[in-house]
Structure 1
Amino acid sequence: MTPPYDPSPVTTPLGTETSDFSVRALAGLPEVAPGDDLARLIAAAGPGLADGDILLVTSKIVSKAEGRVLAAGDREAAIDAETVRVVARRGPLRIVENRQGLIMAAAGVDASNTPAGTVLLLPLDPDASARAIRAGLRETLGVDVGVLVTDTFGRPWRNGLTDVAIGSAGVRVLDDLRGGSDSHGNPLSATVVAVADELAAAGDLVKGKTAGRPVAVVRGLARLVGGDDDARALVRDPADDMFRLGTSEAVREAVTQRRTVREFTDEPVDPAAVRRAVAAAVTAPAPHHTTPWRFVLLESAASRTGLLDAMRDAWIEDLRRDGKPAESIAKRVRRGEVLRKAPYLVVPCLVTEGSHHYGDERRDTAEREMFVVATGAGVQNLLVALAGERLGSAWVSSTMFCRDVVREVLGLPPEWDPMGAVAVGHPAGPPKPRPERSASAFIEVR
């Protein structure tokens, strides 16, 4: 007669809260087909389930029972259909965010343990699936158990696969130890234990990948049963996700998400962040192995106000010489106030040291234009790097129209040419949506 549990438990001490727990694979489950009642199948295979047990149920059998079996000659098309956002791509491998909000390889679409020509999709709502199994076991066996639906994941920076929880019912999925202290009395300020994932991984030790035992039972951790947590609590909030993109995707997004920001909060700008951005700026391409960039950092309010006041006076004088009326002058000056709203200013300058002199206007003009283009590349690097530091920026051309004034106020060498000013600060709000631009409108192929 087949026992309800495998005979060899995995036992692990849990400190002072409980002595040990056991993890056992449930034997005797049949092949699952669409429409099967998983709770009744599990109850038949494990009539000895007790209050406080935790069931670890492999997502594959949940998918099969829920009819998430798809005839798909093209697995890639199935992955496309389940993908919400591509996180990283390398060759045919894709790490994506799927419809369930999980970030995983191939959107969780699996071609193993299913007939040829079909693929398994993850349950539509793994938390709801776990709740249904828990309720069914309560009805069938009269027991109060916790249920985790598990799936196999890879992990950043770590080789190998492990099981994690993707659905939960009646299990506390996170153990928040913040505010407590360790055995030496040190305060715990960042310790939140992913208990559900630890349980899932323990279950994988006894279920195995090829043994045909898709359910494991944990006994001895009743303290974790009764919680109302969904497994979605294990998915990090996007705002706190420091590794939301793959390498190439992050580079592309950094460029396309760099936006002009004209409204800033009062939060101070970290000077070290700006210096890191300058370090990225000076990696831009430049002619003749030169370094044509200089960046003047205006970190004091006095330096910013002194420069902007002098620039405003010079601008007003220019407008008066143009014959502009006072009302028009005031309106134009107001439009230039974006630099005053910023808590930090950078004045990029062009230095043509190392340029070649040919003695004719055409080639000398082209030579200077090469250096101007290199300076623009450096400023673009700066803006993208600032965005990577979560700082907003606006590149304003105004210093180019009064270079002598800028050099005098800031005490710059005469050979430094100010190339605008960059307002830097923490954005006061998200940027407005920007319509996509088709690259084809800007391409000519010969």
Structure 2
Amino acid sequence: MTSYRVRALPGLPEVRPGDDLAKLIAAAGPELSDGDVLLVTSKIVSKAEGRIIEAADREAAIDAETVRIVARRGPLRIVENRQGLVMAAAGVDASNTAPGTVLLLPEDPDASARAIRDGLRDALGVDIGVIVTDTFGRPWRNGLTDVAIGAAGVRVLDDLRGGTDAHGNPLSATVVAVADELAAAGDLVKGKAEGLPVAVVTGLSHLVGDADEGARAMVRVAADDMFRLGTSEAVREAVTQRRTVRDFTDGAVDPGAVRRAVAAAVTAPAPHHTTPWRFVLLESPESRTRLLDAMRDAWIADLRRDGKSEDSIARRVRRGDVLRKAPYLVVPCLVMDGSHSYGDARRDTAEREMFVVAMGAGVQNFLVALAGERLGSAWVSSTMFCREVVREVLDLPADWDPMGAVAVGHAAGPPKDRPAREGSMFIEVR
């Protein structure tokens, strides 16, 4: 391929609900040839498919088309819509439509592209590719451009992985968004206000064929999307996704991820501008086994002193095995450096409680940050019942108070559903 041509297709009438777009395009472009790529603005597809609704309140229409809010700033919302696209206002458009109405995106843009392609084959006997386009903003970039939201008969992605560049370097991550590049090229000749909703690309017939993947293949799946959420939404998502995980795979834990979580933990508030948190990271199997064996022995001794039967003790010990299942353990410790002594039991108790609350805030930060790193965790209180044993085994200073242990690892399965908690049930207003 040495060159190609992009031109707008003039002569299309105002599109109305029920119109056969393929016939309208065939009448305006009888010269269309095999191997051409047709770029069709989604607005006229929506109009032909009757995706015009009465909507005195555009926000309500956006709500109806929204699956998930990605980010919000004032009235502007970036959302995932019913088509799986992440975009402003769910693609609900109040321009180029009568007052009091809005345009929704085509219900299935890939199906719309297939219908236009099939219709043009019937009308003109040509084998062409069809791309349905819409205007998007882009993260990190100013300005708008057209992208592909539907496609038929055209390669949408060009996977170059496994090949080499001109210097022989291996290509390991290069997948070219061909359909988006074509959509943007078409926008250069269609414009936004010239009344030219269709463009034709000639000279790229190698991209046209029986490809049936559609533009849906260009939408990054959630598991691979590193930028799935906006800032405030990411915080809420991490908080709600933090679950107590009791079964872990044997996959290794990235020590760097744990250290990043500790960095988040120590941003928690604390009294008197203190830093009462210490995190002991048990990264070797030997250190974990040594601690857990010593804690188990101390726990069994306590239960025997309480008169528990051997069967009861065995059951309780098994319930505490979550720490043994984890490939990584963290022991958060409280230090009272900077605390005040009042010489009064009531105030001294309150002083310690303030530090304990700060410790809880730090551990919560830690657990949420681990969830953000896609690591599961379980905060278990067991070290608080044998602090002297923990200090001795881990060779900790006498003023470090172990405040439980956090099991860290990759969850062995998806979390179980849990009952929703209605916030209003926990609120009292005075």
| TM-score, normalised via structure 1 length | 0.95
How far apart in 1 are the matches of 2:292 and 2:415? 26
Task: Describe the superposition over 1:344-390 as per-residue Cα deviations: whole angstroms up to 9, x where unpaired.
Answer: 11011110111111111100000000011111111111111111111
SS of structure 1 residue aligned to 2:206:
helix
Task: Describe the superposition over 1:47-96 as per-residue Cα deviations: whole angstroms up to 9, x where unpaired.
Answer: 10000000000000001111111111110111111111111111111111
Please report how far the alpha carbon of residue 229 of structure 1 lies from its aligned counterpart in structure 2 after TM superposition. Answer: 2.2
Q: Quick one: which of 234, 252, 262 aligns to 2:218? A: 234
**Which residue in 1 is equivalent to 2:424?**
440
> Structure 2: which amino acid aligns with 1:376?
G
2:151 aligned with 1:164, yes or no?
A: no
Q: Quick one: which of 336, 353, 358 aligns to 2:337? A: 353
CA-atom RMSD, angstroms? 0.7
Q: Quick one: which of 34, 37, 40 aligns to 2:17? A: 34
Q: Quick one: which of 154, 166, 172 aligns to 2:137? A: 154
Q: Quick one: which of 367, 370, 389 aligns to 2:373? A: 389
> Structure 2: which amino acid aligns with 1:257?
Q
**Which residue in 2 is equivalent to 1:47?**
30
**Which residue in 1 is equivalent to 2:413?**
429
SS of structure 1 residue aligned to 2:258:
helix
2:75 aligned with 1:106, yes or no?
A: no
Name structure 2 gaps, 5 residues minimum: none
Q: Quick one: which of 239, 245, 260 aligns to 1:261? A: 245
**Which residue in 2 is equivalent to 1:135?**
118
**Which residue in 1 is equivalent to 2:279?**
295
How far apart in 2 are the matches of 1:145 and 1:247? 42
2:361 aligned with 1:380, yes or no?
A: no
How far apart in 2 are the matches of 1:219 and 1:247? 43
Task: Describe the superposition over 1:391-428 as per-residue Cα deviations: whole angstroms up to 9, x where unpaired.
Answer: 11000000000011111111111111110000011111
2:70 aligned with 1:87, yes or no?
A: yes
**Which residue in 2 is equivalent to 1:125?**
108
> Structure 1: which amino acid aligns with 2:267?
T
**Which residue in 2 is equivalent to 1:339?**
323
> Structure 2: which amino acid aligns with 1:333?
V
2:37 aligned with 1:59, yes or no?
A: no
> Structure 2: which amino acid aligns with 1:194?
A
Task: Describe the superposition over 1:85-138 as per-residue Cα deviations: whole angstroms up to 9, x where unpaired.
Answer: 111111111111111111111110000011111110111111111111111111
**Which residue in 2 is equivalent to 1:417?**
401
Q: Quick one: which of 143, 162, 179 aligns to 1:179? A: 162
2:178 aligned with 1:200, yes or no?
A: no
How far apart in 2 are the matches of 1:211 and 1:372? 66
Task: Describe the superposition over 1:274-333 as per-residue Cα deviations: whole angstroms up to 9, x where unpaired.
Answer: 111111111110111111111111111111111111111111111111011111011111
Q: Quick one: which of 174, 180, 197 aligns to 1:214? A: 197
**Which residue in 2 is equivalent to 1:70?**
53
> Structure 2: which amino acid aligns with 1:335?
R
2:312 aligned with 1:328, yes or no?
A: yes
How far apart in 2 are the matches of 1:215 and 1:205? 11
How far apart in 2 are the matches of 1:270 and 1:142? 58
Q: Quick one: which of 308, 324, 331 aligns to 2:292? A: 308
> Structure 2: which amino acid aligns with 1:119?
V
SS of structure 1 residue aligned to 2:84:
coil
4+ residue stretches of structure 1 with deviation over 3 A? none
SS of structure 2 residue aligned to 1:314:
helix
**Which residue in 2 is equivalent to 1:15?**
none
Please report how far the alpha carbon of residue 209 of structure 1 lies from its aligned counterpart in structure 2 after TM superposition. Answer: 0.3
**Which residue in 2 is equivalent to 1:369?**
353
How far apart in 1 are the matches of 2:359 and 2:141? 41
SS of structure 2 residue aligned to 1:408:
helix
> Structure 1: which amino acid aligns with 2:336?
T
2:207 aligned with 1:224, yes or no?
A: yes
How far apart in 1 are the matches of 2:76 and 2:418? 30
How far apart in 2 are the matches of 1:125 and 1:291? 55
Please report how far the alpha carbon of residue 21 of structure 1 lies from its aligned counterpart in structure 2 after TM superposition. Answer: 0.3
Name structure 1 gaps, 5 residues minimum: 1-17
Residues paired across the two proteins, number: 429
How far apart in 1 are the matches of 2:292 and 2:30? 80
Please report how far the alpha carbon of residue 270 of structure 1 lies from its aligned counterpart in structure 2 after TM superposition. Answer: 1.1
